[in-house]
Structure 1
Amino acid sequence: MILIDPPLWPAWDRIWSHLVSDESYDELHAFARAAGIPARGFDRDHYDVPSERYDDLVAAGALPVSSRELVRRLINSGLRHRKGT
């Protein structure tokens, strides 16, 4: 399933959400491609997406969850890729 957390993360004069899959990177990349998210937005195990895309991504099928839930499900899926690992 594709998950998205609320836009809470400030960087580069914008606010960002994280888009992940709790099933596979293939699912995540296919969703991102279909939604027009550039490949450069991928960071280890998630896509960084600007707040203005949040509603569109939810409408496209991403399930809105809390940041804590997103990380928990990513870890449980075995797809979590931490910095330095």
Structure 2
Amino acid sequence: MTVLIDPPQWPGPRGLMWSHLVSDHSLDELHSFAGLLGVPGRAFDRDHYDVPETVHALAVSLGAQAVSSRELLHRLIAAGLRHRKRR
């Protein structure tokens, strides 16, 4: 059971860079961890939370594993938790 976070490299609101927060175990684990971080539910998007760069260090200090974006996606898919946008 692991919560993963990629580097804050995605431009987003308020001029901040953003990361993706996922679980390679379950969405319940992900939602619980996001709650510990104080991340609002509106930041959840199908299979991940978008979190600002200001949360990255806290997430790691609370046990999230910092990984590359490629590794995060690979592990999300391998866990069967990837939910793509419908066309």
What displacement does 1:34 show?
1.5
Contact 2:37 2:55 in 1 (8 A): no
Q: Please, what TM-score do these two structures have when normalized by structure 1? A: 0.96
Give the 5 Å matches for 1:54-69.
54-69=56-71
- For 1:2, the equivalent position in structure 2 comes to 3
RMSD of equivalent CA atoms: 0.9
The residue type equivalent to 1:38 in the other structure is: P
Question: Partners in 1 of 2:86 and 2:16 — Cα distance?
Answer: 26
Over the matched positions of the two proteins, sequence identity in percent amounts to 60
Flag as ranges the 4+ runs of structure 1 deviating above 6 A.
none
Give the 5 Å matches for 1:1-85.
1-12=2-13, 13-84=15-86
Q: Please, what TM-score do these two structures have when normalized by structure 2? A: 0.94
Question: Partners in 2 of 1:30 and 1:14 — Cα distance?
Answer: 24
Question: Partners in 2 of 1:49 and 1:59 — Cα distance?
Answer: 15
